[in-house]
Amino acid sequence: MERIWAPWRMEYIVGTTTKGDKKCFLCIDERHDEELLVIGRRGKAFVIMNKFPYTNGHIMVVPVRHTGSIEDLTDEELTDMMRLVKVMTEIFKEEFKVDGLNIGINIGRAAGAGLEEHVHIHVVPRWFGDANFMAVIGETRVISEHIMQTYKRLREKFVEKVF
């Protein structure tokens, strides 16, 4: 088995739990939005970059309120989240010229939720050929643009659309 040294993953491994004294990484104070790659906020929800993306531009739409249960979300929270999914879908189609999008919610560890304590919607841009031999044979993902450059592009378009 091939090993790739990736010390940046330690942030993910130790930072995605709310158990004990650790804080949920999706419970974000607005003062730290840029530092934590929050693209924008609207009502009771916000959009944040996934620091460990499947593809370039992988984002999450998150309710501001900390809850791990979709059935506990209010109608207002659900509406604000879906409005942000719609906005980000438009941005990806216009700015990133995507061929498709995966949009989904993983509820529970058995369903693939890496963070069960704070429900969120993944929006993953897709292009023909993005799942090439690197992911299939090499078990390696290639992200084609630096995350900060992607963040700036998404943030700029979000501000244009929402404000």
What one-letter code names the amino acid at 156? E
DSSP secondary structure, 106-141, as one string: --SGGGT-S-SSS--EEEEEE-TTSS-HHHHTS---
CATH code at 136? Answer: 3.30.428.10
3-state secondary structure of 29: coil
Residues serving a catalytic function are: 120
> What distance lies between CA 6 and its chain's CA centroid?
20
Residue 148 counted as domain residue: yes
Condensed to tens digits (0 to 9), the pLDDT of residues 119-162 reads: 999 999 998 877 644 444 445 555 667 889 999 999 999 999 88
Condensed to tens digits (0 to 9), the pLDDT of residues 101-117 reads: 999 999 888 888 888 89
d(CA 156, CA 39): 9
User: How many domains does the chain divide into?
Assistant: 1
